[in-house]
Each structure stands twice: as structure tokens, then as C-alpha cells.
Structure 1
Amino acid sequence: MLKSRWQWVIAIAVLILIAVGSVWLFRQQPTSEPNPSLIGVTSNLHAKMGIPKNVKETNPDDEYLLQSPDRPYVTSYNNSKLIPNWSSWQLNKDWLGNVPRRNDFRPDPALPKGWYQVRSSDYNNSGYDRGHMTPAADRDNTPQNISATFLMTNIVPQAPDNNQGPWAQLENYSRGLVEQGKELYIIAGGYGNTRSIGKGNVKIVVPDRVWKVIVVMDKTGLSASDVTANTRIIAIDMPNQQGIKDMDWRKYRVSVDLIEERTGYNFLTNVPDAAQVQLEEKVDKVVERVN
């Protein structure tokens, strides 16, 4: 009888240990919820070259990482400015298609509870375009992917002459490179504070300038460790203003080092150090025209 009783005690103890272990394992599982603590350690393919690291002290709410399996890019969102700090995405032929653009601009429900969700109407009569960071035309392979680019957390107030001029030229040029078989890793954002738009307490910051860093890989399937000092890097820094619609995007080419200095971000953090140092001091000089 005593032996049987101990057997029951041991069995119950084992069941309790299994239950506790299951709860612990469940809590360790990754979630698709955005989490600022993932900055620098994410394995998302859209940040294969590394998550930009802000070297300045900032409010965590102003470096809020948005990523999930159904979001075809990664975004760092700024809750104070109500715009993205940057968006990062992979671009190859698999992402390109012919799905029609629907212009379904809408608030992003992935933002934390209590945060203001920017609406398309907040841009009405502002004089600024709803400027994509990750372009719709870079994600027109499926209705879901192109629609995801119209979340307002991917949008900044962009001067029409910038958005429809050299910025659009560079987007077209990038897709031209992809049609040649290249694979691109792109990060785009803005900095500075020209003014704000919105009504009442809604203050959406208008960046003074917009920038982009593009890593051009010669073929698909390569990683950050394959980047060398000879890899092509395109970095641009454009004024977010009227009067530049007919300017060539190449006029605005700069070094990655300069963008880092002006934004406070450290880019290409997954690239081998030696290659990173050499690449970031270069200014792209390629002159051929794809578009």
C-alpha cells in the first residue's frame, strides 16, 4: 500500500513538472508582435544587411520596430513624429508583378494600444504627398503585399516634386537593376523637421530631407557575409522640397558615412567590418542608365 502511494506521488510530481515546463516553453516562443528589443537581433530577411542602430539615446517609443510574417518589409516607427524613422526591404524579381495599385491608405493596427494611428485624411490639403518608404511598385506581386505598403506607418509627408521626381526616378532605376538579375537590400527614411501637418493635436513631422541606402548584390541568395569592398552601394540624400522635379537622382549621391553622420544611425551592421568601413566612405559613381 505504501509503495503504491509513493508511486502516485511520483506520478503527480512528474505531471506537474511537465505542465510547468510546457508553460515555460510556450513563453519562450517568438511572436509576430513588434518589439523594440528585437532591434539589432532580428533575422528578418528584409533586414539581412543589419538593423540600423541609433547611436543617440532615444525614447523607445520613437524606435518602435514593426515586423511580422505578413509584413513585406521592416519599419522603425517614431511615435513622437508620427512617421517611420526608416523602412528596410529586400527587392528581387520575386517581389515584382502586375497587381493593380489600389491606394488603400489606412491606419496601422499593429501600433500599441493608446498610440495615435495616423489616417490618410490627416494629409488632406497639406500640400504634401503620402510618400511611401517601401514603394508599392516594389511589392506588386500579390494583393496582400502591395496593400501592406499603404499602411500609414510606411508613409511620410513628401513634397510632390521630390516624390514624383528624383525619388521616383531612383525607384524605377532600382527595379531596372532587379530586372537585370540583381538583388537589392534597401533602407529609406527621412531626417530633420521642416514643419508639421495635421489638425488639432495631430502633429505629423515633415522631414527636411529624405535618404536611401541600397546594397546591390550581383545575384540572389547571397548574405551580408558575401558583401565585399567591391559591392556596389548607392546612398542618396535629397531635399524634401518643391522645385526639384526635373533633377536627376544621381545629383544627390553621397556616402553612407555622411547619412550616418546626419541621421545618427549606424548602417550595414551585419556586413563584415573591413568591407563596411570601405563601402561607407565611397560615393557611387556608376553612370550607366537603366531607366
Structure 2
Amino acid sequence: MLWLLLLQVFASCLWLGHSEVVTSFASCSQFFHAGTPPNNVLEPQNPAWICQRYSNAYHFATLYNKDKRIPAYSAYIYQPGPGARSKSWFVEPQLINPTYPKNMDTEYSLQKKYKITPQQIGQSQAINQDYNNLKDLNRGHLSPSCHRNGNNSKWSTFTLTNIVPQNSTLNQGTWNDYETTTMALQTQGCNITYVIVGAVPGNTYISSRRVNVPSHIWSAACCQTNTGMKTWAVIAENNRDQVQNLTLAELETSLTQLYGKGKVSLFDSACPR
């Protein structure tokens, strides 16, 4: 019996810090209202569905574009609170090799464990050196750490599968104002707020055309109150410091035009347009 107990403890320790590459969001559907992700119009040609799990808990979900090496969107529940920012940046081992562990890990750790190169790590995802020596751009979180509560949840957002090259003035200016001030005001009276933040692929790249620079960053929220549901949305061009406030219907219409692949639906029908 003792060896069975030890085996269970060992298995539970291995499970800490998982970030799963999956075939659908079924195992982390709690981050979408009524368990319904956006429709497949936003799905890239070479997608990865990632249930972002860290310290034995799921924290958010990401649809990742392996060709352009940026997330299409990240979905999460708005739960701001205290905690520290991570000092490390993580990558997704299972985007390197599906047999690798599910743990988020640093590039340095993976290189030591598996005797692999940064080039091997970066075949289907961005790596740290892609974001070196940027001009007028920096690492923009889709699921931001300021919307998370506690160290583990905040640290989970520091994975490069949740990052896009974002205009630095926008990221530190009106987009930051939206994330900190507007969201706090809009969510007053909300019992639970579901958020999806996405990036529209653009025509420019960084790091020798390895990582796409989005043309637009957008965010939509669906909030459940004691009396019903409410929604709001924003979009910003990724070359200027201006955030445009929209209804959910207006954002879906704008994304439908920007993607040109069919009608976009971000939330299920219970979220008012």
C-alpha cells in the first residue's frame, strides 16, 4: 500500500504546472460562456488549442497560430487581485514534440533536459530571441497578468504562446487604460465576466519574418449580473495609441470584415449583441 501511495504522490508532482496542447477546448471550456468558444472563422491554418495550466490548475485557454507564431486569441475569466509578475518567460514543450511533458518551461531548462537548440524550440512558436532589439514594439499579453489573482495565475500569463508584438505606446497607453481602468468600471455589478482577447494577423513581421505583427488587437467581454447579461468590446489598430469602444455586434462585424472568412461569432447567443 505504501508504494501505491508514493506512486500517487509522485504522479501528482509530475502534474504540477501543466499547459496542455489539446484537440479542442473541452477540458478547459470553463473559460468560455456556456462552454462555447468563438466559431471557427478565427481558426488559423495551422492551429494549436492550448489549455494553459500552471501549478495544478487551468488559468486560461489559447488558440495559437503555429505558422505566424502568435495567439489568435486567449480566453479567460476576469479575476484581478494581488500577486507578483513573473521573472521568467515560458514556452510550450508540446509544440516542440507532443511526447514532451505538459509543463510550461523555460527555454534554458528545455535545452538542458532534451539537448535541443533554440531553433528546434522555435519551429512552431515564438522564443525569447524573437523579441530582442524591438523598435516601437514590445511583448503584449492577450490574457494580461493584471486580470489574474495570485502569483501562480499571474505567472501563467508569461508564456510566449500568450504574447504578440504590440505597439509599445499602445500597450503602455490607452490599451493599458482599458485593461486597468475601463475593465474595473465595466465589471462593477458582474458576478462573473468572460473575456476573449485576440489579434488580427498583419502584413509585417519581426525576427526575420518569424513572428507576425498583428494589425489589430481586440477584446470582448460577456458579464453575468444578478439581473441578466451585458457585453462590451474594444478594438485598436496596432500602430497607434487609440482604443475604439464598440458593442459586441460591432466588433463581430468589424472582425468579419478584417478576416474575410465568414461571419465571426465570439460568444454564445445568451451574450447580448
Same fold (TM over 0.5): yes
2:224 aligns to what? 217
1:154 aligns to what? 162
Matched residue of 2:84: which SS?
Answer: coil
In the TM superposition, what are the counterparts of 1:252-271 in structure 2 within 5 Å?
254-263=250-259, 264=261, 266-269=264-267, 271=268
Gap change, CA 1:181 and 1:107, over 3 Å in 2? same
- Given residue 67 of structure 1, which amino acid in structure 2 is its aligned partner? C
**1:207-255 superposed Cα distances (whole Å, 9 cap, x missing partner):** 1111111112225xxxxxx96xxx322122210014x2xx4x3456643
In structure 2, which of residues 146, 149, 160 is the aligned counterpart of residue 137 of structure 1?
Answer: 146
Unaligned runs of 5+ in 1: 1-30, 220-225, 281-291
Report the Cα offset of residue 52 of structure 1. Answer: 1.4
- Given residue 82 of structure 1, which amino acid in structure 2 is its aligned partner? R
- Give identity over the alignment, percent: 23
2:75 aligns to what? 88
Q: 2: CA distance between counterparts of 1:187 and 1:82?
A: 19
Report the Cα offset of residue 84 of structure 1. Answer: 0.2
1:240 aligns to what? 238
Q: Which has the greater radius of gyration?
A: 1
Matched residue of 2:21: which SS?
Answer: coil
- Given residue 131 of structure 1, which amino acid in structure 2 is its aligned partner? G
- Given residue 256 of structure 2, which amino acid in structure 1 is its aligned partner? E
Gap change, CA 1:211 and 1:268, over 3 Å in 2? closer
Matched residue of 1:157: which SS?
Answer: strand
1:52 aligns to what? 38
Report the Cα offset of residue 51 of structure 1. Answer: 1.1
- Given residue 101 of structure 1, which amino acid in structure 2 is its aligned partner? R
**1:51-108 superposed Cα distances (whole Å, 9 cap, x missing partner):** 112238853xx221001553311000001000001000111xxx33211223422322
1:11 aligns to what? none
Matched, 1:72 2:59: yes
Q: How many residues align?
A: 222
Gap change, CA 1:85 and 1:65, over 3 Å in 2? same
Matched, 1:106 2:90: yes
- Given residue 221 of structure 2, which amino acid in structure 1 is its aligned partner? I
Output the TM-score relative to the length of structure 2: 0.70
Gap change, CA 1:126 and 1:83, over 3 Å in 2? same
Q: 1: CA distance between counterparts of 2:42 and 2:83?
A: 40
Greater shift after overlay, 144-153 or 108-117? 108-117
Q: 1: CA distance between counterparts of 2:251 and 2:42?
A: 20
Question: Is the CA contact (8 Å cut-off) linking 1:88 and 1:187 kept in structure 2?
Answer: yes
Matched residue of 2:92: which SS?
Answer: coil
**1:161-202 superposed Cα distances (whole Å, 9 cap, x missing partner):** 211122111111213444544421111111131311114xx6
Question: Is the CA contact (8 Å cut-off) linking 2:42 and 2:264 kept in structure 1?
Answer: no
Report the Cα offset of residue 158 of structure 1. Answer: 0.1
Moved beyond 6 Å, runs of 4+? none
Gap change, CA 1:102 and 1:196, over 3 Å in 2? same
Output the TM-score relative to the length of structure 1: 0.66
Gap change, CA 1:150 and 1:215, over 3 Å in 2? same
Q: 2: CA distance between counterparts of 1:148 and 1:32?
A: 9
1:203 aligns to what? 210
More strand by share: 2
Q: 2: CA distance between counterparts of 1:81 and 1:71?
A: 25
